[in-house]
Amino acid sequence: MGTMNIAKMKPSPETATFGAGCFWGVEEAFRVLPGVLKTEVGYSGGVTEHPTYEAVCTDLTGHAEVVNVTFDPAVIRYEKLLDVFWKNHNPTTMNQQGPDFGSQYRSVIFVHSPEQKKIAEASKKNLEQSGIWKRPIVTQIEDAKIFTPAEDYHQQYLMKRGLGSCHV
């Protein structure tokens, strides 16, 4: 009988998808985390095929601005990504983050597995019960939808400009 090489049993990278307002700042919050292998901004959750930034900004396509986060679960857990998500936006404002208004800026978690859904729902419930927010949490938790990458100039927008956040 052969022995198993434990070192080769490293978990495969996973994907998490979050919408929490303008995707430039959301991407930057995740991009810098150890264990995050890749971030990509784009659009998800709408009805229009091949949405563009201009179309999404009309608030008619139903898409949210989101960031796809590819991460190594051996280095960073999904729970930690959820912590960053909750701490980097206001989950009590419907279709608004800061000065940005419209359904494209909604608070949403697109889950990629039943396990992610269970963890996200528990995380949301814990936040609701914590009393940190006085108003109800309006964050939606939905099964992952088709993700359309945003135009290239949106990718790592803040990093390319030496900025750490969207709003001062």
- Choice among 9-13, 61-65, 105-109 with the minimum mean pLDDT: 9-13
Q: What is the DSSP letter of 163?
A: -
State which fold the 11-160 domain adopts. Peptide Methionine Sulfoxide Reductase; Chain A (3.30.1060)
Q: Which residues contact 160 (CB under 8 A, 6 or more apart)?
A: none
Q: Is 22 a catalytic residue?
A: yes
Asked if the model's pLDDT at residue 13 lies above 70, the reply is yes
Task: Spell out the domain ranges in the chain.
Answer: 11-160
Q: Which of 20, 22, 41, 66 is catalytic?
A: 22
What is the distance between the alpha carbons of residues 106 and 65, in angstroms, rounded to a whole number? 8
Asked if the model's pLDDT at residue 37 lies above 60, the reply is yes
What is the distance between the alpha carbons of residues 63 and 105, in angstroms, rounded to a whole number? 9
Enter the pTM of the model.
Answer: 0.88
168 pLDDT band, cuts 50/70/90, is: very low
Contact 79, 123 (CB under 8 A): yes
Q: What integer pLDDT is reported at residue 152 of this predicted model? A: 65
Count of C-beta atoms within a 10 Å radius of residue 124: 18
